[in-house]
């Protein structure tokens, strides 16, 4: 069950769901991003949510979930690709003392915003942004779907030092498996049943068993299992393109400031890419198509 996501649907109603549990991928992210315990657990919730939301991708690309504000944790984000490759990062203000019981809004600050960004490999980038008016990520996500997508959605997220997990239910738009009244009754029943789930169940019960235990009266049918893994999308080529995009003047200034060698650090996995003067000159003189 570790690092697995199970998709399911209620056979006679227009409702879908996903349940996910992360251990190894969560640990791998934290190994590259040492964080205070409350922030680490919050990042775990973002990783869980990004995994759940990525199942809605209908294209090759990346879904990112990001919160920004002016608090002790001014930025936290997680990304998941259509291949279920997961990564995440959080920034903590220097000298910040994070309370053990701090909520999402406590950490991000009172004027924080939550953004969901879809970046297809081909096609236009899309971003939806909502103000953070709830204390927890689950509530903010439900607000997002209500305001930006007009989709009834409920989310449950649990995190510990070693494991994070989540459950999401969502009305399927445009389907006609049942009447509107039947779907509404089933939706209310599903929410009531899901509210009984415990963190121990989400962490430890195999997903097919958990889905049956919670929702058997609604006749759930599983749709498939995805394996989630930590994988960073950084590369030397991407770092090179980023340098070239700065322009020759800024790149040479940076080269002088760093005493003849530019070191590009990936904030997600801490990999370093080094470029000396000869390599920089080759990059700046290369035809544009060779950088892709």
Q: Residue 44: pLDDT above 50?
A: yes
Q: What mean pLDDT value characterizes the chain?
A: 90
* β-pair type (164-171, 75-81): unpaired
**Structural domains in the chain plus CATH codes:** 4-230 (3.55.30.10), 236-291 (3.90.1280.10)
Question: Using CB atoms within 10 A of its CB, is residue 287 exposed (0-12), middle (13-18) or buried (19+)?
Answer: exposed
CA distance 140 to 129: 11
Q: What is the residue whose two structure tokens read 């950088």?
A: 291
Mark 184-219 as b/e (b = at least 16 C-beta within 10 Å): eebbebbeebbeebeeebbbebebeebbeebbeebe
- Other Cβ atoms less than 10 A from the Cβ of 77: the count is 21
CA distance 76 to 121: 23
How distant is the alpha carbon of residue 135 from its chain centre? 18
CA distance 187 to 129: 26
**Whole-Å CA distances, 110 to 17, 23, 73, 74, 285:** 31, 31, 12, 11, 47
Select from 21, 26, 23 the least CA-distant residue to 52. 21
Mean pLDDT of 274-290: 78
CA distance 149 to 228: 25
Q: What is the pTM of this model?
A: 0.86
| Model pLDDT, residue 1 | 62
Q: What is the residue whose two structure tokens read 């800024």?
A: 250
Q: What is the residue whose two structure tokens read 């030092």?
A: 161
| Model pLDDT, residue 260 | 85
pLDDT tens digits, 65-121: 999 999 999 999 999 998 899 999 999 999 899 999 999 999 999 889 999 999 888
**Whole-Å CA distances, 125 to 120, 144, 157, 200, 218:** 6, 18, 27, 38, 37
| Model pLDDT, residue 288 | 55
Structure tokens at 85: 């490759």
pLDDT tens digits, 193-231: 999 999 999 999 999 999 999 999 999 999 999 999 998
């Amino acid at each position: 069950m570790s690092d697995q996501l199970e998709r399911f649907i209620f056979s006679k109603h227009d409702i879908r769901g996903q349940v996910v549990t992360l251990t190894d991928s969560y640990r791998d992210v934290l190994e590259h991003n040492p964080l205070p315990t409350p922030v680490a657990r919050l990042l775990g919730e973002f990783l869980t949510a990004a995994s759940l939301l990525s199942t809605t991708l209908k294209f090759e690309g990346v879904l990112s979930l990001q919160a920004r504000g002016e608090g002790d944790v001014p930025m936290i984000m997680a990304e998941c690709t259509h291949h279920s490759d997961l990564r995440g990062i959080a920034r903590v203000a220097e000298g910040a003392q994070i309370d053990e019981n701090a909520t999402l809004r406590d950490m991000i600050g009172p004027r924080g915003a939550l953004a969901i960004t879809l970046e297809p490999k081909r096609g236009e980038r899309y971003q939806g942004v909502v103000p953070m008016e709830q204390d927890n990520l689950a509530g903010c996500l439900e607000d997002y779907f209500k305001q930006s997508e007009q989709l009834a959605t409920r989310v449950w997220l649990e995190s510990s030092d070693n494991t994070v997990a989540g459950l999401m239910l969502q009305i399927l738009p445009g389907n006609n498996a049942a009447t509107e009244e039947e779907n509404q009754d089933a939706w209310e029943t599903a929410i009531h049943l899901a509210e009984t789930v415990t963190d121990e169940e989400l962490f430890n019960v195999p997903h097919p068993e958990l889905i049956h235990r919670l929702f058997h009266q609604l006749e759930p049918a599983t749709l498939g299992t995805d394996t989630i893994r930590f994988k960073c999308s950084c590369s030397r080529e991407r770092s090179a393109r980023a340098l070239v995009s700065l322009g020759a003047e800024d790149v040479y200034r940076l080269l002088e400031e760093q005493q003849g060698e530019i070191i590009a650090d990936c904030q997600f996995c801490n990999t370093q890419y080094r470029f000396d003067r000869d390599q920089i000159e080759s990059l700046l003189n290369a035809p544009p198509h060779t950088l892709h």
